[in-house]
Structure 1
Amino acid sequence: MLGKELQDYARDCFEGRLALLDDVTRARATATVDASADEDEACLLRYLFGTLPLSDVLDVEPGVLVSYVRHSLMLRRGLGWTRELPEPLFVHFVLCPRVNNEPLTDCRPPLWSELHERVTGLNEREAVLEINYWCAQMATYQASDGRTLGPLAMLASGDGRCGEESTFLVSALRSVGIPARQIYTPWWAHCDDNHAWVEAYADGGWHYLGACEPEEALDRGWFTNAAGRALMMGTTVYSDYALDQLGGEDAGRNGCTHLIGVTPSYTRTVRLAVHVADEGGNPVEGATVCLEILNSAQWAPATCLVTDASGEAGVSVGLGGLRVRVTSGGRMAWRTIDTAELHELDFILGERGAGDEPVGAGQAGADPTPGREAGSWQWTSPVGSAEVLTWHDVDVRAPEDHPAPSCRPTPEQLERGRGRKASVDELRRRRVASFLDEGAQLADGLVARANREDHARIERFMRLALGNAGEVARFLSGTSADDVAAAAQGPLEADRLGLLSTLSDKDFRDLRADVLEEQLHGARAVCGRTLGLLAAQGIEPDEAQRVYERYVLCPRVGLEHLTAWRGPLRGWLQSELDAGELEAMHGDPRAIWDWLERNVGFDERQDLAKLAGGPVGALRGRHASPVTRATLFVALCRCLGHPARVNPESLAPELFEGGRFVPAQEPPRPKSRRVRLRATAGGTKSCFVDWTLGRLQAYTERGGQGSLGFPSLELWGTSADEGGLTLELPLGTWRLVSTTRLPNGSQQASEAIFRLVEGEGELELPLRTRVPEASDMLQDIPLPELALHAADGSPACASDALRRSGAGKAGIVAFLGEAEEPTEHLLNELREQADQVREAGLGLLLVCRSPKAYDDPTLMRALDALGSALVLFDDFDELPERLARRMYANPEKLPLMLLVQPCDKAGEGEAAGATDGDVVFRGLYAVGGYNVGSVALALRLAQLA
């Protein structure tokens, strides 16, 4: 029997949620709970209905939640390791259906069926390791778009990005009753991007592991060193039940979820305490405290806290540079700090100063920090056409290299792990190959029914579908029969191919034929109307057909999961609206947007803004986040035959009118100014790599807190060079950020805050980029011996090879992608500077995949010029990527060039950061991929070493 505290909590949450539901959803939730004769089952159903994001309750069939509850109770009652769990761990990390923003499907029984025999007789640790090997057999890493595949789609895919891999492993572990949670760092401090991995609960504690990256021991992963440099790491839970018993600290709220901070488990931390008061010294309760990390050239929020009655908010953070931004009542202040030196901050939010402009509901106030301290908020004078920006430099220190606590495996474990990893990789490759073979066979039958110009499209669709090829074939065939070959043999319908052509590559892995069938029939009903509307706009027939397919026939709007929404939405339009409303929407789809704004709201504390809910549930429940409301609007427009989309940059809904897309609701157009952003040195500078631009505005943080700041313009893929990037910007206060990332992870940033005012002509803004000194490029990363082999297969060590090649105080090790253009450039650069390499006394070791590399003429010319350079070999399965990640270089690009220095003292171990062996080298510099001047820079750095 579940405890009274949980029963009371579940009942309170359920009753509170019922009051927010529409009549249909309320009735089916109540009926589902009442139908359960098992009190524990009823309790857990109340818990899920009452705590999951509201969009889940609106979208997910109750039977799916019943399955999750029954499966978790089976585990609780039948498995020793689940039965002995504290109740909070069971509820949050076994029962909970949601891990990330994946679709909620009935995945636990299929996963249990695959895994329970595999782990029978194993202890908890062994079971966790075994399940991760199985996950690696099913899928490996592959970058993709932001929609998260569910576990069953991962089974049909063979690969996924880190968020999908970790969701897959967490779901697999929970399916056999082992508590598991996704851990993520919202933003790395030492490099751009972020990462997610997994913690599993075994032997009374939490242990980390890389999802689909199996090892022979827990508390290991390629990210061990990176996690030791993170400023914040945490896991998301979907209720506040017993938060203090989950192994971590409450690190902020995001909608209906809580972030449980686990940073102290991975790195050295301090508790950052922020105190906020007004100018009278009175504590400010409810102020928003955002902790921001400079990543991708923007100040990106890691978490947002809210001050208590004493005006305080705090959380544990790593030791490095971050920005603390405080807002309340339309007033704002910030400080950029190094938490290793300062971790207690006092802010006074006073009235705005003379000349400050109003923003949103209030105004911005000044940072109380006296003087013009770099990185602190200050108002600046308006920028006119004849003036230049005033730049303020900000140095942001990355946390020092400090590997997270980890397990050091024995040589036997390492060898066994390599063997097992090779085995599961081969099994996965065979599995994926079988998917492709099956898809090719299905494609052969479909191609025979298609026009010749469609053959390539069909074959591509079947390759993309992998294990889901049968669903694609059923849809193309126009049959629900399992035996596609036995289906009708008439020609393929063109609009079926057209619909599939509108989907993303990822959609083919989890689409359902019945969903697409519903979408197709709904679109056919309005095809004539759409083409008529486009003809009336003067659109040529071929272009009109393209617009129809892409913006009416297409079942996808944004990153929502594909569902059958045309029939239900069309039924609602016919049954729920009066004739006048429906006629108005037919005539002008802006009437749809007006209706949605009046009738569909969003409660940030009951849902997650990042979840793209389904159109049907959103309309029925009259509840939608901004992204879901935009999706619902576009879906309703397409049901009426109006071409519509969500703008890929602004995420605003748009209509196709007069041959172009225009906003569904024309906002008041502020006065604007034409601006040309010009890079002043160093070539092309890319947005979200080298710079970002944001306008001061009031907005709502993901957790529902009111805020004030400079959210970045969505200028992905745009670049500024010496010729300049021209932008049309509304008048107001702007912040321009530029940054240079150093090899040690620290950043040399510059910021300019300026008031854009009216003026004649185009305003030129120079983009300042700081140029580091050579000494800023040095690192000091402990590295173990590199085990390689000679041409005859005999073992060889990198340290011996460098000594024999003449290494004095430093040497270069380069892993080559022979016959590839980046490697050719590096080899040519080495050949051209062979004399300087010899004069510097640098050892030089070139590592290739096999002796076939000697057939490469570029390599041979370089070896002739370099003289003493040695060549050794490695299979490249693991070592180059591991070294690149250890040196914080790009792990996905070859060549990998490292400048290393032999250690003065051998035998150092884990304390120095070499988790897989004693320290033999100090890594001074590394670069993945070819950058012009890499060899010259390595020569300069060797002189400084």
Structure 2
Amino acid sequence: MLGKELQDYARDRFEGRLALLDDVTRARATATVDASADEDEACLLRYLFGTLPLSDVLDVEPGVLVSYVRHALMLRRGLGWTRELPEPLFVHFVLCPRVNNEPLTDCRPPLWSELHERVTGLNEHEAVLEINYWCAQMATYQASDGRTLGPLAVLASGDGRCGEESTFLVSALRSVGIPARQIYTPWWAHCDDNHAWVEAYADGGWHYLGACEPEEVLDRGWFTNAAGRALMMGSTVYSDFALDQLGGEDAGRNGCTHLIGVTPSYAKTTRLVVRVRDEAGAPIEGATVCLEILNSAQWAPATCLVTDATGQAGVSVGLGGLRVRVSSGGRMAWRTVDTAELSELDFVLGERGAGVGADAAGGSDGSYRPEPGSWQWPCAVTSGDALSWCDVDVRAPEDHPAPSCRPTPEQLERGRGRKAQMDELRRKRVAGFLAEGARLAEDLTARASQEDRELVEHFMRLAFGNTDEVARFLAGDSASGGATGGGARSAAGTLEADRLELLSTLSDKDFRDLRADVLEEQLQGARVVRERTLAYLAAQGMGPDEAQGIYERDVLCPRVSLEHLTPWRTPLQAWLRDELDPSELASMRDDPRAVWDWLTRNVGFDEHQDLAKLAGGPVGALRGRHASPVTRATLFVALCRCLGLPARVNPESLAPELFEDGRFVPVQEPPRPSSRKLRLLASEGTKSCFVDWTLGRLQAYTERGGQGSLGFPSLELWGTSADEGGLTLELPLGTWRLVSTTRLPNGNQQASEAIFRLGEGEGELELPLRTRVPKASDMLQDIPLPELELHAADGSAARASDALRRGGTGRGIIAFLEESEEPTEHLLNELREQAGQLHEAGLGLLLVCRSPKAYDDPTLMRALGALGSALVLFDDFDGLPERLARRMYANPEKLPLMLLVQPCDKAGEDGTAGATDDGAVFRGLYAVGGYNVGSVALALRLAQLT
């Protein structure tokens, strides 16, 4: 059934991959393929073994891949919509097990059993919509950490972040043979965030939808407007088979994957062409071209391209401000451009040290002049006064909604009803999880202390549908195949302390997909080295309580970073005991740097066979002698913990660290590297890293796609803030870049950059953070908004435009309130204080509450007494405030929501505001979600400008 082109491709990739595998994995992969009597099955197994990230081949049991292949062939042979698919769409978007960086588990058969009857008799379009309703019944959005849950864990959880929801929906669609892919924008251009959604292939084309956010039509989602403003959007595929037939363009490589760019499907675009040559005019082949978007106060890479033999690279991008950074052979240049004005760039990379093309002043040609032979600037900065700032204005793409399908009023009503039904079913389902967890907690803690009882109840609430696994581990039923029964309890009936200690080291998300047998293996392995660890820490002068805390966090804990929990202690301890020379093992016990040295010599990484940020398991990495940087750090920490030596991955630098002389130190650097203290000063309020500023050191490194690069990767200082008192950091000597930015409501940014050399010196170097203050006119937006259908206290229908015309001009402020909550109280007080100015400005005022019970709030009543003509209307807040906030690019998760609006230019027959052809009644000028001091005063100033 499968074509010769695919068969030849799969065979070539499989044979090439075998040469890279260790003996055990090679034999396992070969035996799996040879055991298949079905040639199509064998072909697809070769394809998966040959194209999936190498860490997957090392970590995943072959039987899991066999299940994916057999399920895909069942769909190909048995379902009409799958049978008729072009082969490239089938292998990339139905067969492929991986969507994101989720754990690969055998999820397709369970999803099929849930869904196939539900979609029987439906066409493709209807099936996609129905499956998304089912996904909404199972899960809703919830922010969490960066580890991605697999589809079955989301199913057992009831929620997930957008990357997990989209992975869930893609997996569900693929399980019934409908091609699906995750679409994501690595960084929005108009706000500090990113997003992932789904495209499904139906009726001969790709259609987008929000995962677990069902609608009655395709090509519609809350992100429709945001996507129309994006600079880059794409989907990851895990091989280069027939890339030109996938619907999109090859937009860059990330390790063993390719990014299929789909930006032209959503936004106005141009093809950005970059040409790189040397000083003699010859093209430079293989130069790295990184496209960077200013997001979260850092220049964050959206994709990296590599120049061809003509020295050229190109890709379609949205129309807005981005930075193009080019590097090759230790040389670097960059330029910030507005692609609406300039889409062809030429770079000249001279000899090393000859110059770095940049935005900032330094030479008459706009380039910096470092010292010959180095990338350090001529002199070190000795004080904040010597810091030279360069201002950079970055324009976000204009508001331009992506192509979408507008539902009819009947469809909207039906969709709201079905969504409410799915939400209620999900809430009942989650309530059942919590009730079962409470029952299990009561059984486990019948004779436990009050403290232990509260802790177990907390664990069970975190586990949702995975409470059985938590209970099995706490009861010891997973030990020795369950032979111990309740052996994890003492004679008095209390739970074993180290079981509670181990669970206390896990993240909230871990409880949703942990397995009792994995934790049991981890616990038993840690018990073997506990006394050794405590003795090691006591020798460093640490007291018993402090030593116990270090043991729990940095030895007992089965989690190192964002890898998936696996049973690694027994195999790693066996390797240390059986495979190493005794003298080598002794040296590792004496100094864990010997562990890192061994890994550096013996464990490599091929950027074109894997993903740099995909965290593989320690056992597969050690056996296969292959590990990405993040996996190697994880493996180092795991080996140290097997030796009873505390170790961790630094949460800021992500570097592996060992515990030495009472503190954690980087294993890759000398114990006390040359460094200097730097103090950042913020003169106006608190400024947070990755919100207002970032700091990065100039260095050579490898991009995620395996491209060699030179740049300023940001320090991972999440949650760190500077204020008037300053933030002190101890930094390695070298060349650094400090970036600060102010984000405007229209999405544009006013940024400043300073590049400086941190040299040796005494005392702290104080550097002020530059914060640019925008003009009031910079805060204006012009966003078309529809009529707001509300209701009065008696339940009768009411319209926002009618309410605002009571102010005389149709202009005014609309505020969605959460009465009795502190942010709303502040807004109401400010409205009351500014009542006279609002009247003089001719602004109408519409306050929207959930119900007439709002009149019981004294703050609201005081405000209404002062405001006079203000009108109160009502809405159930089921979706309107969030939709308006997203449309205005304000924070959709916070109330109150305040909008400054004016009527559209087009008027109705009676001279009052009327809907324009696109359905807009208002122009949104300004919006804020949550209360900011001075919001009303700012709205008044902006109203004067219009």
TM range (shorter): over 0.9
The answer to whether 1:120 aligns with 2:117 is no
The answer to whether 1:277 aligns with 2:277 is yes
Equivalent AA in structure 2 for residue 679 of structure 1: A
Q: CA RMSD in A?
A: 2.0
Three-state SS of the structure 2 residue aligned to 1:605 is coil
Q: Is the 8 A contact 2:357 2:366 kept in 1?
A: no
Equivalent residue, structure 2, for 1:639: 642
Equivalent residue, structure 1, for 2:709: 707
Note the C-alpha offset of 1:821.
0.6
Structure 2: distance between partners of 1:372 and 1:421? 60
Flag the 1:120–1:915 CA change in 2: closer, same or farther, 3 A: farther
Note the C-alpha offset of 1:546.
1.6
- Pick the aligned partner of 2:407 from 399, 406, 409: 409
Three-state SS of the structure 1 residue aligned to 2:597 is helix
Structure 2: distance between partners of 1:375 and 1:938? 39
Deviations 1:590-630 (A, max 9, x none): 22111111110111110001110001000000000111111
Note the C-alpha offset of 1:544.
1.7
Note the C-alpha offset of 1:807.
4.3
Equivalent residue, structure 2, for 1:358: none
Equivalent residue, structure 2, for 1:747: 749
Flag the 1:377–1:184 CA change in 2: closer, same or farther, 3 A: farther
Equivalent residue, structure 1, for 2:862: 861
The answer to whether 1:625 aligns with 2:628 is yes
Q: Is the 8 A contact 2:136 2:214 kept in 1?
A: yes
Structure 1: distance between partners of 2:153 and 2:346? 49
Structure 1: distance between partners of 2:607 and 2:764? 41
Structure 1: distance between partners of 2:88 and 2:98? 16
Note the C-alpha offset of 1:785.
0.5
Note the C-alpha offset of 1:858.
0.6
Q: Is the 8 A contact 2:476 2:482 kept in 1?
A: no
Q: Is the 8 A contact 1:333 1:377 kept in 2?
A: no
Structure 2: distance between partners of 1:449 and 1:377? 71
Equivalent residue, structure 2, for 1:601: 604
Structure 1: distance between partners of 2:864 and 2:484? 58
Structure 2: distance between partners of 1:527 and 1:907? 79
Q: Is the 8 A contact 2:336 2:359 kept in 1?
A: no
Structure 2: distance between partners of 1:377 and 1:295? 24
Equivalent residue, structure 2, for 1:830: 831
Note the C-alpha offset of 1:170.
0.2
Note the C-alpha offset of 1:666.
3.0
Flag the 1:69–1:450 CA change in 2: closer, same or farther, 3 A: same
Equivalent residue, structure 1, for 2:457: 459
Equivalent residue, structure 1, for 2:373: none
Structure 2: distance between partners of 1:328 and 1:6? 35
Flag the 1:918–1:483 CA change in 2: closer, same or farther, 3 A: farther
Equivalent residue, structure 1, for 2:477: 479
Equivalent residue, structure 2, for 1:934: 935
Note the C-alpha offset of 1:916.
12
- Pick the aligned partner of 1:664 from 632, 646, 667: 667
Deviations 1:350-377 (A, max 9, x none): 12456xxxxxxxxx64459998699866
Equivalent residue, structure 1, for 2:296: 296
Structure 1: distance between partners of 2:531 and 2:459? 27
Flag the 1:933–1:373 CA change in 2: closer, same or farther, 3 A: farther
Deviations 1:821-857 (A, max 9, x none): 1111000000111111111111000011111111111
Structure 2: distance between partners of 1:315 and 1:455? 58
The more displaced of 713-722 and 42-51 is 713-722
Q: How many percent identity over aligned positions?
A: 85
Deviations 1:322-346 (A, max 9, x none): 0111101111111110000000011
Note the C-alpha offset of 1:722.
2.3
Equivalent residue, structure 1, for 2:184: 184
Equivalent residue, structure 1, for 2:374: none
Note the C-alpha offset of 1:915.
12
Equivalent residue, structure 2, for 1:139: 139
- Pick the aligned partner of 1:513 from 513, 516, 526: 516
Q: Is the 8 A contact 1:388 1:765 kept in 2?
A: no
Note the C-alpha offset of 1:484.
13
Equivalent AA in structure 2 for residue 130 of structure 1: E
Q: Is the 8 A contact 2:128 2:200 kept in 1?
A: yes
Flag the 1:216–1:377 CA change in 2: closer, same or farther, 3 A: farther
TM-score, structure 2 as length reference: 0.96
Note the C-alpha offset of 1:633.
1.0
Equivalent residue, structure 1, for 2:11: 11
- Pick the aligned partner of 2:528 from 515, 525, 528: 525
Flag the 1:11–1:508 CA change in 2: closer, same or farther, 3 A: same
Note the C-alpha offset of 1:637.
1.1
Structure 2: distance between partners of 1:502 and 1:219? 43
Structure 1: distance between partners of 2:33 and 2:917? 52
Structure 1: distance between partners of 2:583 and 2:745? 64
Q: Gapped runs of 5+ residues in structure 1?
A: 355-363, 909-913
Aligned pairs for 1:901-912 within 5 A: 901-905=902-906
Aligned pairs for 1:340-351 within 5 A: 340-351=340-351
Q: Is the 8 A contact 2:180 2:199 kept in 1?
A: yes
- Pick the aligned partner of 1:694 from 693, 696, 701: 696
Three-state SS of the structure 2 residue aligned to 1:325 is strand
Structure 2: distance between partners of 1:916 and 1:470? 57
Note the C-alpha offset of 1:27.
0.2
Note the C-alpha offset of 1:179.
0.2
Flag the 1:762–1:636 CA change in 2: closer, same or farther, 3 A: closer
Equivalent residue, structure 2, for 1:445: 443
Flag the 1:483–1:710 CA change in 2: closer, same or farther, 3 A: closer
Structure 1: distance between partners of 2:341 and 2:103? 44
The more displaced of 932-941 and 571-580 is 571-580
Number of equivalences: 929
Q: Is the 8 A contact 1:788 1:796 kept in 2?
A: yes
Equivalent residue, structure 1, for 2:912: none
Equivalent residue, structure 1, for 2:308: 308
The more displaced of 321-330 and 532-541 is 532-541
Flag the 1:567–1:671 CA change in 2: closer, same or farther, 3 A: closer
Structure 2: distance between partners of 1:733 and 1:651? 20
Structure 2: distance between partners of 1:122 and 1:917? 32
Structure 2: distance between partners of 1:907 and 1:111? 52
Deviations 1:778-809 (A, max 9, x none): 000000001111112221111111112x1425
Flag the 1:501–1:177 CA change in 2: closer, same or farther, 3 A: same
Q: Gapped runs of 5+ residues in structure 2?
A: 371-376, 910-914
Deviations 1:119-174 (A, max 9, x none): 00000010000000000000000000000000000011000000000000000000
Equivalent AA in structure 1 for residue 783 of structure 2: I
Structure 1: distance between partners of 2:682 and 2:530? 48
Note the C-alpha offset of 1:276.
0.6
Equivalent AA in structure 2 for residue 419 of structure 1: G
Q: Is the 8 A contact 1:319 1:339 kept in 2?
A: yes
Equivalent residue, structure 2, for 1:425: 423
Equivalent residue, structure 2, for 1:38: 38
Flag the 1:341–1:37 CA change in 2: closer, same or farther, 3 A: same
TM-score, structure 1 as length reference: 0.96
Q: Is the 8 A contact 2:475 2:485 kept in 1?
A: no
Three-state SS of the structure 2 residue aligned to 1:924 is strand
Three-state SS of the structure 2 residue aligned to 1:544 is helix
Structure 2: distance between partners of 1:193 and 1:505? 22
Aligned pairs for 1:62-141 within 5 A: 62-141=62-141
Three-state SS of the structure 2 residue aligned to 1:76 is helix
Q: Is the 8 A contact 1:474 1:484 kept in 2?
A: no
Flag the 1:249–1:369 CA change in 2: closer, same or farther, 3 A: farther
Flag the 1:182–1:164 CA change in 2: closer, same or farther, 3 A: same
Equivalent residue, structure 2, for 1:197: 197
Equivalent residue, structure 1, for 2:787: 785
Q: Is the 8 A contact 1:385 1:760 kept in 2?
A: no
Three-state SS of the structure 2 residue aligned to 1:392 is strand
Note the C-alpha offset of 1:755.
2.4
Three-state SS of the structure 1 residue aligned to 2:608 is helix
The more displaced of 37-46 and 640-649 is 640-649
Note the C-alpha offset of 1:659.
2.4
Structure 2: distance between partners of 1:572 and 1:697? 36
